[in-house]
């Protein structure tokens, strides 16, 4: 089999796994996959109604500001938490087949990414409502999202292995994700917190991804090289580390399961 045929087969298997997971996820849902667009919109409306009197006067285009952060963090949270149990959930498939095991994790990350893209549909309507100006900065957004996808995949690889060896990883990570939600300036502006907290948030790679997309999409502003460097370095380190950890321990997975 040639290298090109191997790559084609690799992506075919990934596509089939992703379709299978999507069908299983929405099998009993009335709205089906459309829920991925409806839920973020309802969540944004709820938060805006609750906090508009507090934040709306201090943050320009607050609904769009919040919507960007919510969509991106929801993708990261969903992708990592669902990927965490991937290997255990597919124990029989791991034993009976010779599928590349990283594809099982990657398929769940891609499902979360598909949900994220569907959530971007109502977000586009919010941008239209605020008459956000289409600018050349929009060209940077796909790059940001690709890096965010790689970053999230790296984290997911490590978590899937961690859960096989430590079952309490699920409780730890769910609490970590909940706490981290308050340290990415999701529903407030970074200038409203102390200098020490600001330093932590600015060096948080997840905030870097959100900050860049907010500036490019909502406000049409440029982003300093500091954030690009933060995003790039973190993505390279986390994805490489996640891939290497997964490859190192993947053969021990079946025994542990």
Per-residue pLDDT 10s for the chain (257 aa) are 555 665 566 666 677 777 666 666 655 555 555 655 666 667 667 666 666 666 655 788 888 898 899 999 999 999 999 999 998 887 777 777 777 888 889 999 998 998 898 888 888 888 888 777 778 899 999 999 999 999 999 999 999 999 988 888 999 999 999 999 999 998 888 988 999 999 999 999 999 999 999 999 999 999 999 999 999 999 999 999 999 999 898 878 776 76
228 CB-contact burial (10 Å; exposed 0-12 / middle 13-18 / buried 19+):
middle
pLDDT at 6: 57
Place of tokens 């991925």: 36
pLDDT at 235: 97
pLDDT at 103: 87
pLDDT at 99: 75
pLDDT at 138: 92
d(CA 127, CA 213): 13
pLDDT at 230: 93
End-to-end CA distance of the chain: 32
pLDDT at 79: 95
Instruction: Estimate the crossing angle of helix 205-213 against helix 62-84, to 10 degrees.
Output: 140
Q: Whole-model pTM?
A: 0.86
pLDDT at 49: 63
């Amino acid at each position: 089999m040639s290298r090109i045929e191997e790559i084609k087969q690799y992506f075919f298997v990934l596509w089939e796994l992703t379709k299978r997971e999507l069908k299983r996820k929405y099998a009993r849902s009335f709205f089906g996959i459309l829920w991925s667009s409806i839920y973020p919109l309802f969540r944004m409306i709820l938060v805006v109604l609750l906090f508009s009197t507090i934040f709306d006067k201090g943050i320009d285009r607050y609904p769009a500001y919040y919507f960007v952060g919510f969509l991106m963090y929801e993708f990261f949270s969903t992708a990592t938490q669902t990927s965490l149990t991937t290997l255990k959930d597919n124990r029989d498939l791991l034993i009976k087949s010779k599928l590349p095991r990283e594809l099982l994790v990657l398929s769940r990350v891609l499902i979360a990414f598909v949900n994220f893209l569907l959530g971007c549909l109502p977000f586009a309507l919010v941008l239209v409502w605020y008459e956000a100006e289409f600018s050349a900065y929009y060209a940077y957004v796909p790059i940001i999202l690709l890096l965010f996808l790689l970053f999230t995949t790296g984290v997911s690889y490590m978590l899937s292995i961690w859960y096989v060896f430590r079952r309490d990883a699920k409780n730890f990570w769910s609490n970590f994700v909940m706490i981290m939600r308050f340290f990415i300036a999701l529903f407030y502006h970074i200038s409203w917190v102390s200098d020490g907290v600001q330093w932590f948030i600015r060096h948080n790679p997840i905030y870097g991804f959100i900050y860049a997309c907010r500036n490019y999409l909502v406000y049409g502003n440029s982003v300093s090289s500091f954030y690009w460097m933060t995003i790039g370095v973190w993505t390279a380190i986390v994805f490489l580390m996640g891939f290497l950890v997964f490859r190192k321990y993947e053969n021990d997975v079946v025994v542990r399961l």
